Structures are given as structure tokens and as C-alpha cells.
Amino acid sequence: METPNNEPRTTNKTLACVTTARGTGAISSIQIAGPSAKVIIKKVFAPTGGRQTDFEIGEIFVGDIFVGTRVIDRVVVGCEGENLFAINCHGNPIIVEMVMKLLKKHGAKPVGIRNMLTQQFAPDDRPNTIALEAKLAQLEAVTLEGVKIVANQMRTGLAKIAGNWLENIKCLNLSDLSGRCRQIIADTEPARLIINGCKVVIAGPPNSGKSTLLNCLSGRDKAIVADTAGTTRDWVTGKCRTERLLMELVDTAGLDERLTDANEIDRKAQKKTIDILNNCDLVLFVLDGSEKIENQEVKLNVDLLKGKKILFVFNKRDVVQKADVSQLDIDFAASISISAKTGDRIELLVERIREILGVSDFCLNKPVCFTQRQLELVKLLSKAKARSMAETVIKQLLQGEITTC
């Protein structure tokens, strides 16, 4: 793939550039800019549903990159400016190279990132900070839906609403502003999970099938599985890619109150499990549905998870069920019965995970924060007691120093 970095600036040519790092990643971003960019995009890209469009600035589309009748990849294409497009495809290097070769075939010249940015931004045409942060954040997004959320913030999401606030600052109702900011803060959490991925910890008593569940979800045998309680003393990770989410799965040493007073290895394993649980987005608390469940034992473990989102997973439904939770003093409202061994109801489990994390029906067009800088400023703005303070914060939001997500 041709990506020279030291070519002279060429403004009369259409350029194509891979803006993500080399190697296999979740998402790769390709920019195409120049007088023929729109013509080339129309030749190689078809929006889903047969939608007809002239690719107006700010529009974002999901669709297919194709050669003849063959689809190369399902992608997100955004029109970021006049004759400036971003193609966000899956990160397989083979797919990236195929797309670049296709763009070259239709007249785009492959260049390096420095040459592309030199042409893309003239000194008098610098976009606002949110737009620039969005360009960087799109390169780090791990799902196509995440790319779309970030791209939407450049002109129609957070950047637009902040611009409207600043334009109407003299008549801005601070109470309404505070409410709008609180909504943006609330929407930021599910957006963060879609953009950056989430950490899901698989916890529960020993020998409940946690390692089998991780293997099932990740699609490969990552963890050692045995009938002996406490087989997993360390932690094992895997990944599960599903609609709207890239989940990092962590299989922990089984939670067991008795092991905290056991040997040094077991004590450290228990401590590490608790540390991991304190830094996750969701806990899948796995219980053996084929065995009787002791209320006190489970309650001690659940008490360690206060404040965490928990989905109780009753495993081993492929054998006779003995678990009776009717007498347990625990809220099992968020629960599901599965068989990790056979894969029974695993798809339903994944859907429950999406629901609990709030990403299933999340609108990708909502204004959200996608960097910590933005989030801190919006939180500060939600507490503004005077228009002068609000104006200062909004200007900082739009024109402050760039950070990454």
C-alpha cells in the first residue's frame, strides 16, 4: 500500500489516506479528499436501503463498499466537508488494502497522514475543538456505531448545541441549560460504551461455569475448564464482538469468602478479583443452577458488588435444575438461565447485556461527550449560576485545548 509521508502538497489531486495505525484493529479510518472525492465515493459506496443522496456536508451513512456485485465491507461514510469524506471500515488489514486499491483504481492518490492534513485544513479554515477531537476519536472507536456517534458530534451534535448556546447566550435560561447538560451527561455513559467498548466481569462461586461461559462468549477456549472447584486462580480475558458493543470479558477467580483465610495464592486471587470488580461496567454473576444455592454464601459475595450493575446468570440449564431462589433474600430481577456448555440462550444473554448497559436502543444522533475534557466542562456548565460563567465555559468547550478520548 502506498502511503508516502514527504510528498509536496497537491491541492488539485484527490488524495486517499489511511489515518489509523498499521495492524489489525477494530476499526480503520480512511480519508479521501479532493475535487473528485464525491464522484469516487458514489462509484464505490452504496448506502443501505437503496437510499439516494448527494452526500451533503454533515451527512453520515451506513452502507457497503463494493466492486461490481461483490461487497468488500459494511462501512460508515461521513461527509466531513466539501470534497472531504471519511470511510470507517473494519480493521482487518486485508480489507483496508482492498479499499485503498479500489480508491486508487478510481483516481485517488494514496498519501501519508501529514500530506492529507496539510491539504485538509487551511490556516483560516480551522474547525472548532469538538470537531478536531472528533477526528481523533473516530480513529480510536471500536465499533462502527461508535464512529457514527462521534462523527455526529462534529456539526449536528455537541458542537451544534454548544454553538447555539453561545449564539443565544444573552437570553439563555440557565435552568433549561442545566437540564440539557444533565441529559447530555446521562447519555454520555452508554455512548462511551459503544465508542470505547466495555469491561464485563464474570464472577461468582467456584465451579459455577464461569470459564465455560467466557469460552462460549469469546468463541474460543481461553480458560482452563475442569470439574474441580477453584480451577481459575488468576484472571483470563477474552473479547466478544456483538451489535453495538465490543466487550472485554474477564474471567475471575471464584468469589469465595472462605478462601480469604486460605493460603497466600488463594488470598491474592480473591483480592485481585475484588479489584477487577471495582473497575468494570457490568458483572455477570454466575450461579450453578443444578445445585442448591445457599443464601448466606451468595449474599456475602453480592454485598461486595454494591453499586455495580449485576446480571445473575443461572448456568447449567442443560441438566436437572435444583436452584431455588424463592427463599433467598436477594433481588434476582435481572437474571437469566442459560447453558454455557451447550450455548443455549447465549444470544438472549447478550441481548440482556445490551439492555442493562443501555445501548440497545440508544439513538446515535444524541449530543454526548466523547472526551473527558468535554464531560468535565458540561458538568461545570450544568452548575453555572450566571450567564457570564456559562459563556466562559461554552467558549472553552468550543475553543479549548484539544484532548483525546
**What phi, psi does 90 have (nearest 5°)?**
-70, 150
Q: Is the pLDDT assigned to residue 225 strictly greater than 50?
A: no
pLDDT band, very low/low/confident/very high, at 301 (cuts 50, 70, 90): low
pLDDT, averaged across the chain = 83
pLDDT grade for 257, boundaries at 50, 70 and 90: low
How far is Cα of residue 103 from the mean position of the Cα atoms in its chain?
28
Predicted confidence at residue 329, as pLDDT, reads 64
Q: What is the reported pLDDT for 8? A: 40
Helix or strand run (H / E) with residue 249: strand 245-251
Phi-psi region of 293 (alpha: psi -120 to 50; beta: other; left: phi over 0): beta
What DSSP line would sit under 24-65, residue for residue?
Answer: -EEEEEEEEESTTHHHHHHHHEEEGGG------TT-EEEEEE
Decide the pairing of beta strands 25-33 and 84-91.
Answer: antiparallel
Domains, the chain, ordered by start: 11-126 (3.30.1360.120), 196-356 (3.40.50.300)
Q: Which triple of cell numbers denotes residue 41?
A: 465515493
Cβ contacts of 301 within 8 Å, gap of 6 or more: 203, 204, 205, 255, 256, 257, 285
Confidence (pLDDT) at 12: 74
Q: How confident is the model at residue 220 (pLDDT cuts 50, 70, 90)?
A: low
What pLDDT is recorded for position 64?
Answer: 95
CA torsion 368-371-372-376 (nearest 10°) is -40
Radius of gyration of the chain (CA): 25
Please indicate whether residue 367 or residue 136 has the higher confidence score (pLDDT): 367
What is the rounded (10 degree) CA torsion for 199, 200, 206, 212? -110
Burial-class residue 249 by CB neighbours within 10 Å (0-12, 13-18, 19+).
buried
Over residues 3-57, the pLDDT tens digits come to 444 444 445 789 999 987 665 567 889 999 999 999 999 999 999 988 878 899 8
Range 195-217 average pLDDT = 90
